[in-house]
Amino acid sequence: MRIAFLVTRSDVLGGASLHVRDLAREFLARGDAVIVLVGGEGAFTDLLRRDGIPTRSLRNLVRPIHPLRDIAAVIELRRALQEFRPDILAAHSAKAGMIGRAAGKINGIPTVFTAHGWSFAEGMSWGRRKFAKWCEFAARPLTSKIITVSDADRKLAVAHGVALETDMETIYYGIPDVADRLRASPSVDPPRLLMVARFEAQKDHRTLVTALAGLRHLPWILDLVGDGPLRSDVKKQARELGIDDRTNFLGARTDVAEILAQSQVFVLISNWEGLPISILEAMRAGLPVVASGIAGTPDAVRDGVSGFLIPRGDAVTLADALQKLIADPTLRSRFGEAGRREYEARFTLFHMFSRTADLYEHVVNTSRRSEASRAPNRSTISGPPTKPRTTSH
């Protein structure tokens, strides 16, 4: 197959971009032709080039809604697709999903959209949710198939009427395993708590800091990996609540696996999510997880078995869950072992890639059969049949 992947942002290494990187590597290793098309230049394009993955930057593909640039992005993408001539276009993230499906339809290329969480999920503004629902409803006729990364997202799409069950297939994220040296030791005291997330509106660092301010009497250290526009606000909050001496702001890092291996509890507090890859990385490392019980997170974390799920914005319940884990190294180890078993059973790269490859091949073959059925037959091409010639005797 010839596969073109499309992602909106190159300036951050988020779940969608790492997912695309892993898929592209596997398809290349299998012998398929691959290109990753992405808006702009940044950390993601640097990573792709280091991994030897062909990539092309699209100047007009930007995250904000911008009608003129969005039209220019469709035109720019059409040209890139005409040059590469893919059998299938795989669009990832909301904006790339809209631009990609439009360009794919115009070029006659079957397009699969992977929803890394819906923009009309709870936790977002009413206006954004309304607009996102309208966009997805409008894009439905342009879509060959939708992949959701969690059952919760599939059910949400059906409930909001933007897709039918038959339009979608749930394929969980899968990530490569790590060496044994990168497995964590959850029972070590004092425990290091780790949250890996950009400081943006989607993530709720403030509720975590509020919860930990009530646990100053317990021994713990908090490491926050990530960067973003709200970082200074969270640093100020930690200072005002008197926990800045035990809170480390580590910035954007490329050695997250190593940091996970040195941690004892993983935390991800969010306002909305798809299925967070960071949680799967924590489970792979054998860490207990405390996370907001929203969207696809319960598909991975079993409450009371491999971690604790917390209602959105509930600092009191979060503090209670963290206190239990900080005080009990045996509980941390038990949860961590359960999470590792879940990773091995459902979230490996092999599981994800094999199912994704099967779906892409099915979409391509279906498209080819449809084209063949629409092609004019030989008699149509050669014109109307001639009358048989008669001879007189």
SS (H, E, C) the chain: CEEEEEEEECCCCCHHHHHHHHHHHHHHHHCCEEEEEEECCCHHHHHHHHCCCCEEEECCCCCCCCHHHHHHHHHHHHHHHHHHCCCEEEEECHHHHHHHHHHHHHHCCCEEEEECCCCCCCCCCHHHHHHHHHHHHHHHHHCCEEEECCHHHHHHHHHCCCCCHHHEEECCCCECCCCHHHCCCCCCCCCEEEEECCCCCCECHHHHHHHHHCCCCCCCEEEEECCCCCHHHHHHHHHHCCCHHHEEEEECCCCHHHHHHCCCEEEECECCCCCCHHHHHHHHHCCCEEEECCCCHHHHCCECCCEEEECCCCHHHHHHHHHHHHHCHHHHHHHHHHHHHHHHHHCEHHHHHHHHHHHHHHHHHHHHHHHHHHCCCHHHHHCCCCCCCCCCC
Q: How far is the C-alpha of 294 from the C-alpha of 299, rounded, in Å?
A: 10
Q: How far is the C-alpha of 24 from the C-alpha of 32, rounded, in Å?
A: 9
Give per-residue pLDDT as tens, 61-94.
998 888 899 999 999 999 999 999 999 999 998 8
What's the confidence (pLDDT) of residue 393? Answer: 35
Give per-residue pLDDT as tens, 244-274.
999 999 998 989 999 999 999 999 999 988 8
Q: How far is the C-alpha of 204 from the C-alpha of 116, rounded, in Å?
A: 18
Q: How far is the C-alpha of 90 from the C-alpha of 71, rounded, in Å?
A: 19
Q: Are 121 and 154 in contact (CB under 8 A)?
A: no
What are the structural domains, with CATH classification, of the chain?
2-175+348-365 (3.40.50.2000), 180-346 (3.40.50.2000)
0.85 surpassed by pTM: no
Q: How far is the C-alpha of 38 from the C-alpha of 73, rounded, in Å?
A: 11
**pLDDT tens digits, the chain, 393 residues: what are they?**
999 999 999 988 888 899 999 999 999 999 999 999 999 999 999 999 999 999 999 999 998 888 899 999 999 999 999 999 999 999 998 899 999 999 999 999 999 999 998 888 777 778 888 888 898 888 889 999 999 999 989 999 999 999 999 999 999 999 999 999 999 999 999 999 999 999 999 999 999 999 999 999 999 999 999 999 999 999 999 999 999 999 999 998 989 999 999 999 999 999 988 889 999 999 999 999 999 998 889 999 999 999 999 999 999 999 999 999 999 999 999 999 999 999 999 999 999 999 999 999 999 999 999 888 877 654 444 444 444 444 333
What is the distance, to the nearest Å, from the Cα of residue 85 to the centroid of all Cα atoms in its chain? Answer: 25
Task: Give the largest CA-CA distance in the chain.
Answer: 117
What's the confidence (pLDDT) of residue 377? Answer: 57
Measured on CA atoms in the order 102, 103, 106, 107, is the torsion positive or negative? negative
What's the confidence (pLDDT) of residue 382? Answer: 45
Strand partners, 267: 290
